[in-house]
C-alpha cells in the first residue's frame, strides 16, 4: 500500500464495537432498547449499549417538504421543521406521515369552514401549528391550490 493513500481508521471500527455513535449536524436519531423508545439523540457523539440499543434512521431537523392532496381536488404544499426533538420523541420515526395526516385532516375541516376574510393557506398554517406545536414541530410555509380563497 502506498504511504500516500489514506488508511482506514482503526478507531472507527473500535468506536462501533464499543457503542459510540456519531449523529451528524442538523439531524436527530431515535434510540430504542428492546423495541421501546428511549431517547432522541441530537448531533454529536453518543454512547449506546452494543447489542441492546438500536438506532432509528437519521431525521433532518430542517427543510421538510410535503405535498398534501385532498379529496376535494385541492392541493396543499407545506414546509416544516423540527424545533424540539426531545418533545417529538418516538414520533420522529414517522414524522412525515404524522404531519401529512394532520394536514389532510386540517385541510378537510378548513375547506368546509371557508372564510373570505382569511386566506385558506394562512388558516391551514395556523391550524397545523396548533396541532403539531405540542410535538415540537413548526410549519414555516404553506400554500394551497385548487380552491377559492386560497
The Cα 104–Cα 124 span in angstroms is 10
CA gap 61, 76 in Å, rounded: 21
**CB within 8 Å of 55: residues ≥ 6 apart:** 21, 29, 30, 31, 32, 41, 48
Whole-number percent of the chain with pLDDT over 90: 51
Domain regions of the chain by residue span: 10-59, 61-145
Q: Which three cell numbers stand for residue 148?
A: 377559492
pTM of the model: 0.77
CA distance 15 to 134: 36
pLDDT in tens, 71-109: 767 788 999 999 999 999 999 999 999 999 999 998 888
Average pLDDT over residues 20-46: 92
Class of domain 61-145: alpha beta
Amino acid at each position: 500500500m502506498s504511504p500516500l493513500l489514506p488508511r482506514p481508521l482503526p478507531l472507527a471500527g473500535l468506536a462501533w464495537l464499543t457503542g459510540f455513535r456519531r449523529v451528524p449536524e442538523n439531524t436527530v436519531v431515535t434510540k430504542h432498547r428492546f423495541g421501546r423508545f428511549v431517547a432522541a439523540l441530537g448531533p454529536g457523539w453518543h454512547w449506546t449499549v452494543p447489542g441492546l440499543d438500536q438506532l432509528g434512521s437519521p431525521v433532518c431537523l430542517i427543510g421538510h417538504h410535503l405535498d398534501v392532496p385532498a379529496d376535494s381536488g385541492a392541493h396543499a404544499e407545506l414546509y416544516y421543521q423540527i424545533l424540539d426533538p426531545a418533545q417529538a420523541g418516538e414520533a420522529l420515526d414517522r414524522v412525515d406521515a404524522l404531519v401529512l395526516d394532520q394536514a389532510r385532516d386540517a385541510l378537510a375541516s378548513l375547506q368546509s369552514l371557508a372564510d373570505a376574510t382569511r386566506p385558506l393557506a394562512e388558516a391551514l398554517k395556523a391550524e397545523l401549528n396548533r396541532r403539531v406545536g405540542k410535538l415540537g414541530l413548526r410549519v414555516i410555509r404553506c400554500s394551497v391550490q385548487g380552491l377559492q380563497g386560497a
